[in-house]
Amino acid sequence: MADARTRRVKKEIQDIQNDRQAGLTIELVNDSIFHLIGSFPGPPGTCYEGGKFDVDIVVPETYPFVALKMKFLSKVYHPNISSASGAICLDILKDNWSPILTLKSTLISLQSLLCTPEPNDPQDAEVAKHYLTSKSSFEETARYWTETYARPQTNEGRGAPSGTSKTSHLPTVRDEVAMAGLERAHVEQFEALGFERGRVIEVLKRINYRGANVPKISEDTVVEELLK
Amino acid sequence: MSAVESSLREIGDLTDAEIFALTQNIKDEEASRNPLISPLEPLSTLKTEYEAGAQAFVRKIESLQQPPHSFAGIRRARGDGNCFYTSTAFAWISGMMNLTSENRKSVVESALLDLEKSLNSLKAVGFEPIVYEDFYEVLTDLIRNILYPVSTGTVLNPASLLQQFQNAETVNSIVIFLRLLISSYIRLHPDDFEPFLFNPDTGDMVDIKRFCEGWVEAVGREADHPQILALSRALKLPIHIAYLDRSGGDSGTGKVDLVEFDSVEGETSPILVTLLYRPGHYDILDKKAEEPAEFLVS
């Protein structure tokens, strides 16, 4: 009966390939239909618009009775997606999985997850804090990540942090600061006190030095954190 | 720090995904020790399990053994969140097998016809054939096997039915098909169900779509009244549930609450499924205490 799974997965792959309209793509990894890379376009009208998001998909042995294993290969700035590992917090990939879901409908659910972040059930706590403190600043950062990491043309270097592999895009001060969703002026303020820029960014990110939080956190507190 | 404290602290450090994986592992491990469906055993063995503890349970089991109930056996289902579905499917199919030969043919054939018709309901609520056709095939092949030798060359008998219910893929397929049948029935009869749909974890009311996605279609979610009612109507199968709980207390009369889900009022069905409910779990009740003698021979 193991071929029921093979038959179904083949049909599901075909289903994606036949439907050009949804804009989804699916490729096999090492010629296996049980390890795939799916992709979808960032939803229009969101800070992910214009991006192409790649997702690593493993079809478990007891599929479709257990959930597909999915994680983002493209780096995404989103409260429910780990900015480091691409791990996803979505109910249908855990205890709300149902065999009526397919490769196609699950990829579409990920696409709609990008439209509807759930910051109160986060996968990435730092990103969620950013989202809750200042939505406009969060969106600016997410847009920046989309432009940097989810460009449709650049297939090579997928998932790898930009900068190191792409010599034409050497990181600048603006890059790192924007990537962390911080204000350049804040970073420079503490750099001027003699702290190394990377350390300043790390600490300001961790304590969520953004928006309405800034007046609540004294300079001394920040310095204490920097000295830890 | 005690071992318990240290393990609690470790659990606190885990992410949601890790906790989910951990509880899933515990559930799977617990579940894999028990068969999906067990051979019949005398109801008195269940009574013995409670004798040292809850007397209310003992009295209720005794009253199930006596007229008018007269149950003698219990067939246990694995406690994996699917036990209502597994139990009902087994009792339904075995009920069809136990009919007299002239009744059997017409009941099996009308069940197959109804299942075929139900595909229209599944389509009507938006399920794609790709997600249900394999499950449909597994269930209908098994039912057809009551009358006709399919691939095995023999018709279904009590021993081979029990054997089929040891196969996880077969049982999962049947369970999912029943779940989809229920979901489509609820979605197509909103007025009958909408006012009674609650999130079992929070007690909040939920709409039909959310209820069906979260507590009917999702694997391993237990069934409650709305699911049982919908399945009984969709299969035109009366399902009775004997509730074994502490109501009435340890010194009570031992009267068992029997909730009867009858498909359509006034319509009589040749098959009746009776399940035993203990908080969080369903098993099958049977008038026989053990498997028939010819069981072992075949």
The one catalytic residue in A26, A57, A73, A89 is A89
Q: Tokens 């203990």 appear where?
A: B278
Instruction: Enumerate domains of chain A plus CATH numbers.
Output: 4-115 (3.10.110.10), 125-227 (no CATH)
CB-based contact B217 A98, cutoff 8 Å = yes
Contacts of B167 in chain A (CB under 8 A): 1
Of the pLDDT bands very low, low, confident and very high (cuts 50, 70, 90), residue B27 is: low
User: Residue B269's pLDDT is what?
Assistant: 82
Q: CA angle at residue B259 from B257 to B260, to 5 degrees?
A: 145
Instruction: Enumerate domains of chain B plus CATH numbers.
Output: 38-286 (1.20.1300.20)
Query: Whole-number mean pLDDT of chain A?
Result: 89
SS3 of residue A78 by DSSP: strand
Measure in Å the smallest separation between the Cα of A125 and chain B Cα atoms.
Answer: 11
Say if residue B262's pLDDT is above 90: no
Percent of chain A with pLDDT over 90: 80
Query: Which residue from A minimizes the CA distance to B122?
Result: A100
Mark whether A89 is an active-site residue. yes
CB-based contact A7 B134, cutoff 8 Å = yes
SS3 of residue A52 by DSSP: strand
Residue A64: asked if its preceding bond is cis (omega within 30°), the reply is yes
Taking only the tens place, the pLDDT of each residue in A188-216 is 999 999 999 999 999 999 999 998 899 99
CA-to-CA distance for B289 and B74, rounded, in angstroms? 7
Contact status of A97 with chain B (Cβ, < 8 Å): yes
Query: Whole-number mean pLDDT of chain B?
Result: 88
Say if residue A171's pLDDT is above 70: no
3-state secondary structure A101-114: CCHHHHHHHHHHHH
User: Residue B151's pLDDT is what?
Assistant: 73
- ipTM over 0.90 threshold: no
Q: Which residues contact B95 (CB under 8 A, 6 or more apart)?
A: B270, B271, B272, B273
Of the pLDDT bands very low, low, confident and very high (cuts 50, 70, 90), residue A25 is: very high
Contact status of A125 with chain B (Cβ, < 8 Å): no
Say if residue A1's pLDDT is above 60: no
User: Residue B89's pLDDT is what?
Assistant: 98
Of the pLDDT bands very low, low, confident and very high (cuts 50, 70, 90), residue B251 is: confident
Nearest to A87 among B17, B127, B135 (CB): B17
Say if residue A127's pLDDT is above 50: yes
Interface A-B: count of C-beta contacts within 8 A = 54
Query: Which residue from B minimizes the CA distance to A63?
Result: B169
